[in-house]
Structure 1
């Protein structure tokens, strides 16, 4: 392996067709490469759930110390499908039977637990999250869907990989929405059925390379232009000072701050086929907003990109020289 952020910079330079990037420094868009190209968002989409969550706390509809039974969150957990994020969240916190809803939000953002995310989507209401997004003017953004039901989709429609692929390939967007809603309801209210689907998924190899590729393409999509603008607008207009403080407390960033930083907000996401990230950094004298999406359709490089991606993004935000080289990688 031994790959570094320098290798990723070289990769970006050589594979510009499969990459989109937008960078806003202070008030100026200093980079916009394929900025309107829609890409599956992976976990970066969790920023939208957090945005709505913070608004419901602000309005008094959500109380941060509200107790949540871990068993209610477990309904949305599918073993061995989130890189250990959910288990790690549980281990680090050592909960007994309950967590606060603030803990659940941190589980979604700082640990990237999909189960915590789907619990919040269910608790807050998918329609309300999507409405909040529309009100904020995010027009280049697909509507959100729950994250975990798609993992059980192949097992829901078939016992065989090839047949599942065939059935999954032909569905319309409306059919897909309806299927995800059906599976989400099974996860919520029929644990036995969910368990059968989980076991079948693993035993029958119903998360094969080809099925994972198809699932990635079904994920909520958006653009780097939309996310770079959104991260900046969160600071400039979409959140009050109090809401920014709560957002900072929950999103990944507090542990990354230096003395110079007022705010640093970061969320990345990955599947075998895409890497996505959105980052905002504000100091006393400047602000930087960066969104970078990488498509790796054959998954030839995902094994090493994953190791260096976060360091690459954080270096771009903090090191002006590296940032200039990244801009030049696209403009040469």
Structure 2
């Protein structure tokens, strides 16, 4: 799930350092002799730079390292002492080195993803099938946390219930009912962005949207609030039964995502420190954990509890427990689920509905229409996970299903995989020679 894009993927010590700059920099002005125009100007410039970096990362999802580099350059520009020959040469050399390092790190490097798979078999899975033939099943039977990739199964169950007449996709859903599940700051601004899109397209009428737009918000924007609303509406047991009927034998039971986010604060006592909390959460049997997530989600639905009463200010170590306990499945199971949609094994109306939800890349990027007849995908991530599942069909009728799961990522690994995953997938889909290289590299292990 897109969870806290600005916050979670950055070391907490970096934030402490940034806040330290904001708090400590003005302290120099406490001494009267330091309150010169030049010193005041320096303090103001430093405060503005630090605040701009925080705003850029939190509100606009700018990469933290990039924001720091730009901030450093701006600080140099506004320092009068910079403009001496010696300092200009020194700072120029520093900026050049930083620029080369940044361009090297953030360049498109699809092989980084391949190399990560090769070097980390214990924490990665990869599945690839072409025209119904499995080419790669690398660690693909291992159950790993899905994060938001599970929304693909929920989308299929939604499509089936529309086909069966259980639900009407045009029914109205009050936004207030969705907001009960919205935990601010935990979904990378996904829900807010979806709401902005709905309002911009004129799809919010009397503070209501259609059920189908709720489902689209779950898939296209990855809104966790919409997801938990749909899990309650569709019923978790119906989703789990659908997984069984589709032959997904290595798929764990579905439970509410937001409901589980409440568990640490709900369960923690005032006297409990974080280490005790982590041990306690890890000791909860998974069946009880799911039931508690369901219970809390139901209480949100019925407004017995309010989500605003929870802070979600969880240390990364506590978030890791939540991430590890997310709904899991194997990569080959999701390859099979992709094939069900791609090969139109669902009833006609359900297939049409599922494609409409999952093929958002075709609507988002006009260039995809030149390359593909169908392209459907759903990714998922936390601070420790980067997953993606996608199917594609080109204009020659050739079909590919691809699933990649990665877990236990460091912040650095996660950043690089996110940066290179799109180029890896694009090259895999469009370059047969590169596909054969991946097949050879992973099959030899």
User: How high is the TM-score relative to the length of structure 1?
Assistant: 0.91
Shift of 1:191: 6.1
Tell whether the 8 Å contact from 1:296 to 1:302 is kept in structure 2 after alignment: no
Match of 2:373 in 1: 262
Tell whether the 8 Å contact from 1:16 to 1:330 is kept in structure 2 after alignment: no
C-alpha root-mean-square deviation of aligned residues, in Å?
1.9
Match of 1:253 in 2: 361
Q: Matched residues in 1 for 2:303 and 2:369: separation? A: 47
Match of 1:149 in 2: 259
Q: Is the helix fraction higher in 1 or 2?
A: 2
Shift of 1:260: 5.0
Match of 1:181 in 2: 294
Tell whether the 8 Å contact from 1:150 to 1:215 is kept in structure 2 after alignment: yes
Match of 2:58 in 1: none
Shift of 1:315: 3.3
State which drifts further: 234-243 or 211-220: 234-243
1:309 to 1:230, Cα distance in 2 relative to 1, 3 A: same
Shift of 1:126: 1.1
Match of 2:134 in 1: 29
Q: Secondary structure at the match of 1:225?
A: helix
1:33 to 1:282, Cα distance in 2 relative to 1, 3 A: same
Tell whether the 8 Å contact from 1:248 to 1:254 is kept in structure 2 after alignment: no
Shift of 1:48: 0.7
Match of 2:179 in 1: 74
Shift of 1:297: 4.3
Shift of 1:182: 2.2
Number of residue pairs matched by the alignment = 326
1:99 to 1:319, Cα distance in 2 relative to 1, 3 A: farther
Structure whose alpha-carbon radius of gyration is higher? 2
Shift of 1:261: 2.6
1:7 to 1:162, Cα distance in 2 relative to 1, 3 A: same
Shift of 1:12: 2.9
Tell whether the 8 Å contact from 2:381 to 2:387 is kept in structure 1 after alignment: yes
Tell whether the 8 Å contact from 1:268 to 1:276 is kept in structure 2 after alignment: yes
Q: Matched residues in 2 for 1:21 and 1:301: separation? A: 17
Match of 1:231 in 2: 338
Shift of 1:237: 5.3
Q: Matched residues in 2 for 1:260 and 1:240: separation? A: 26
Counterparts in 2 of 1:18-97, with a 5 A limit? 18-94=123-199, 95=204, 97=207
Shift of 1:281: 1.1
Match of 1:304 in 2: 416
State which drifts further: 171-180 or 184-193: 184-193
Q: Matched residues in 1 for 2:212 and 2:377: separation? A: 18
1:115 to 1:291, Cα distance in 2 relative to 1, 3 A: same
Q: Deviations over 1:129-174 (max 9, x none)?
A: 1111111111111111111112111110114423321321211122
Q: Secondary structure at the match of 1:62?
A: coil
1:248 to 1:314, Cα distance in 2 relative to 1, 3 A: farther
Q: Secondary structure at the match of 1:137?
A: coil
User: How high is the TM-score relative to the length of structure 2?
Assistant: 0.69
Residue 285 (structure 2) aligned to one of 172, 185, 189: 172
Q: Deviations over 1:52-109 (max 9, x none)?
A: 1001111122212111000000111100000111111011221351111111011001
Structure 1, unaligned stretches of length 5 or more? none
Q: Which has the higher contact order (CA 8 A, sep 6+)?
A: 1
